[in-house]
Amino acid sequence: MKIVYLNPCGNLGGAETSLREVLASIRAAEPDWELWLILGEDGPLGPIARDLGVRVIVQPFPAELGRLGDTGRGVVLWPLWKAAWGTARYARSLSALLRRLKPDIIHTNGFKMHLLGAWTRPARTPLVWHIHDYVGSRRLMSRLLRLFGGACTVAVANSKSVAGDLHTLLPTLQVVTIYNGIDLNRFSPFGGKMDLDAVAGLEPAASGTIRVGLVATFARWKGHRVFLEALARLSSECPVRGYIIGGPIYQTGGSQWSLAELQQQARGLGLEGKVGFTGFVEDAASCMRSLDVVVHCSTEPEPFGMVIIEGMACGKAVIASQAGGASELFVDGENALGHAPGDAAMLARQIKRLAEDPDLRLQLGQAGRVTAERLYHRKRLATELLALYQNIHRDPAEAELEAVVQAGARRRSTP
């Protein structure tokens, strides 16, 4: 089988991290399949995919298309109009490329590629939309996906919460929930650790310091402000040092913090020397192993939350926002601690609780690792995706034979 994956971004956000695991799991399960990845922007995902034996083509988006976003707060017509001509040219080029590749299945990642895939797919080629975000709140994308939904064969949702949102928008579209998977050898309690203080340019922390980290892109809804406010609420007697691990990765303007903005917020809250900024770090697993507590604090319902299962797989105590798909990944008090999205006071209490209770940190870390081994391994991901692919892929010879058999059966049943 030949599968072509389309992804708008080459940097490693949550959707790209998920796609990396999809590519790795399918390559391991079906080493003879021909896998292609077309990227709208170059970045670390390209070399990672090539190392997996995936053929990668970088076909850069026009600048206007790359910057075009939909925050759900309204449709801005001028940027949309500016992007239209470049998008049409890009679609023609992508269409020619897909006709040349002749894929058995096209699997798209990201809203822009969902639409471009529907627009440019060769006739009768099955199209899989891999949905990682809520659609209903996005005024522009919800309209466009409804318009192009007829071209999609099946949609994969990364949580039941996302599946429900998509079903409300497109009630006739077949939607399958497949949770993300991770490499449990990479995200493991055992392995190298990163000197977070050195990477963040901080003086070495005192002995006994509890390291608490928010691992996230700089998207504004990822809760950086809430994390900083929670750290500021802790008393000076609580031996905690915070780390913000990650950076801005998307071209879309207005939807993410800059490093300078977050540093200014930290200074305004009196956190100089108490919180470090590492920037983007490629080896997230070594960062997590260096932490005592991994924090997820998205202020809006999280479609999934890769950081949650990665932190659990590393055997770390995790604190996570209890909303959306993220709340499906853990049981509060059993394998992670929950907090209400946007509630800095509650987050501070959970951080303090874990900082003062090493036994609870150990218990949650061990239970989290067991959960990851049971539910979020690559083999489960590959099994579910392969079943989906094989269900929608029709070999032309088999399809023709089945049509002949069905026609014969109809003739025999006709009086």
Phi and psi, residue 264, nearest 5°: -65, -40
Q: What is the mean pLDDT of residues 18-32?
A: 96
Whether residue 239 is predicted with pLDDT greater than 60 in this model: the reply is yes
Burial of 349 (0-12, 13-18, 19+ CB in 10 A): middle
Better pLDDT: 405 or 229:
229
| 315-329 mean pLDDT | 97
pLDDT tens sequence across 74-119: 444 445 556 677 788 899 999 999 999 999 999 999 999 999 999 9
| Rounded to 5°, angle at Cα 191 from 380 and 381 | 10
> What are the structural domain ranges in the chain?
2-181+377-405, 196-375
pLDDT, tens digit, 9 for 90 and up, residues 49-81: 999 999 999 999 887 776 666 544 444 444 555
State the DSSP code for 238: S
The CA-atom distances, in angstroms, between 341 and each of 165, 179, 278 are: 19, 22, 24
Sequence-distant (≥ 6) Cβ neighbours of residue 309 within 8 angstroms: 180, 182, 329, 371, 372, 376
pLDDT at 410 over 90: no
Q: Is the dihedral of CA 227, 228, 231, 233 positive or negative?
A: negative
**Mean pLDDT confidence for 352-369:** 98
Q: Are 80 and 99 in contact (CB under 8 A)?
A: no
Banded model confidence at residue 38, pLDDT cuts 50, 70, 90: very high
Given a contact cutoff of 8 angstroms between Cβ atoms, the answer to whether 49 and 56 are in contact is yes
Q: Which pLDDT score, from 0 to 100, does residue 250 have?
A: 61
Q: What is the DSSP string of 36-64?
A: EEEESS-STHHHHHHHTT-EEEE-PPPHH
User: What is the average per-residue pLDDT within 228-246?
Assistant: 95
Q: What is the structure's pLDDT at 403?
A: 45
The architecture CATH gives domain 2-181+377-405: 3-Layer(aba) Sandwich (3.40)
The pLDDT of residue 255 is: 73
Q: What is the pLDDT of residue 20?
A: 95
Q: Is the pLDDT assigned to residue 351 strictly greater than 90?
A: yes
Mean pLDDT in residue range 237-254: 81
Q: Which of 334, 40, 9, 312 is nearest to 181 (CA)?
A: 312
Residue range 147-157: average pLDDT?
95
> Which of 3.40.50.300, 3.40.50.720, 3.40.50.2000, 3.40.50.1970 is the CATH number of 196-375?
3.40.50.2000
Give the DSSP letter string of 68-95.
----SS---HHHHHHHHHHHHHHHHHHH
Query: pLDDT value at position 208?
Result: 94
Give the separation between CA 322 and CA 299, rounded to whole angstroms. 10
Please tell me the predicted confidence (pLDDT) of residue 241: 97
Q: What is the pLDDT of residue 274?
A: 94
Higher pLDDT, 139 or 21: 21
Could you tell me if 366 and 347 are in contact, meaning their C-beta atoms sit under 8 angstroms apart? Answer: no
pLDDT band at 282 (very low <50, low <70, confident <90, very high): confident
Q: Is the separation of the CB atoms in 316 and 296 below 8 Å?
A: no
Q: What is the mean pLDDT of the chain?
A: 90
Asked whether the predicted pLDDT for residue 28 surpasses 90, the reply is: yes
Separation CA 290–CA 280 (nearest Å): 16
Predicted local confidence at residue 398, as pLDDT: 52
Instruction: Render pLDDT for 369-393 as a digit per residue (tens, 0 to 9).
Output: 999 999 999 999 999 999 999 999 9
364 vs 188, 220, 352, 354, 368, CA distance in Å? 15, 28, 15, 10, 6
- Per-residue pLDDT at 82: 62
Reported as type and span, the H/E element at residue 314 is: none
Starting at the edge strand that comes first in sequence, how are the strands of the sheet with 55-58 ordered?
A: 55-58, 34-39, 2-7, 105-109, 127-131, 154-157, 175-177
The number of residues making up the chain comes to 415
Same fold, 2-181+377-405 and 196-375: yes
Q: How far is CA 113 from CA 269, 274, 330, in A?
A: 40, 41, 31
